[in-house]
Structure formats: structure tokens, C-alpha cells
Amino acid sequence: MITKKNLQLLLFVTIFYINVIIYFSLLYVLFDLFNLGYIYDHYSTIEHQRQSLDIVTRSMYFSAITLFSTGYGDVTPFGLTKMIAMIQSMFGYILQASFILHFIKINFFHSRNSRGSF
């Protein structure tokens, strides 16, 4: 059953995930700008990868596929961005588990309270 609390949780989770993707992509861009590491796209030219807009969009794309543990293999981190990618992937696993447990807890207690027994 879709409740107001479930919709609020879904909205919160969506906004939270978007923020995590944006902040980690900013980290990837900063690491690239300071030559601490970069994200290499295997299907585009070096000239294309040096464009500012491509650095931002590639970092955003890599951040999203890392957070959701998709990992297509078309982009690869090098240098210290590998460490950031590992932290982000662990963060993604923990987020998924915690939000699912929280959702189950809300629905479990809601169903028990609506039946009148606790």
C-alpha cells in the first residue's frame, strides 16, 4: 500500500541519491583538474575527453553507474579516482541496504499497528 510516509521516503531517497551523484562527480572533476586521477572513456578520442563539458558529463555518468553498482566498463578510473570510486561503491551498497531496511521497518510497523496488535 502506498502511504504518504512511503512517498516521502521515496522523494527523500531520490533527492539524496541525486546529491550523492553530484557531489562524487564534483570530486572526480576536482581530481581530474588537479591531476590526481582521471576517468578514461574507452570509446571517445583524447581530444574529446579534454573538453570541459565532457569531463563533467563523464564524471556524472561514472558517478551514477558506480553508485548503483552497474559498472558497464566503458569508463575506467585511474590514479586516486580509483580510491574515490571504491568509497562511492561501498557507500552505494550501504545506502541501498539502509533504505530498504528503513522501508521494511515502516511498512512492518504500519501493518502491525493498523491491525490493532503490537
pLDDT tens digits, 20-38: 999 999 999 999 999 999 9
Task: Provide the pLDDT for residue 83.
Answer: 96
> Domain range for residue 59?
25-111
Taking 60 as the threshold, does the pLDDT of residue 116 lie above it? no
Q: Write down the pLDDT at residue 89.
A: 94
Q: What is the pTM of this model?
A: 0.83
Does residue 18 form part of some domain?
Answer: no
Give the max Cα distance, the chain. Answer: 66
Query: Would you say residue 113 has pLDDT above 70?
Result: no
Q: Is residue 33 part of a domain?
A: yes
Half-sphere exposure of 52 (CA within 13 A, CB side): 0
Does residue 14 fall inside a structural domain? Answer: no
Give 20's contacts (C-beta < 8 A, 6+ positions apart): 63, 67, 88, 91, 92, 95
C-beta neighbour count of 26 within 10 angstroms = 14
Alpha carbon 63 to its chain's center? 6
Residue 90 pLDDT? 95
pLDDT higher than 80, residue 118 = no
Does any domain span residue 48? yes
Residue 108 is predicted with a pLDDT of 73
Answer whether residue 5 is part of any domain. no
**63 pLDDT more than 80:** yes
Element (H, E) at 107: helix 81-114
In a domain, 40, yes or no: yes
Residue 42, number of CB atoms within 10 A of its CB: 8
- The answer as to whether 35 is a domain residue is yes
Q: What percent of the chain is modeled with pLDDT above 90?
A: 59
Q: Looking at the domain assignment, is residue 51 inside a domain?
A: yes
Banded model confidence at residue 18, pLDDT cuts 50, 70, 90: very high
Domain count for the chain: 1
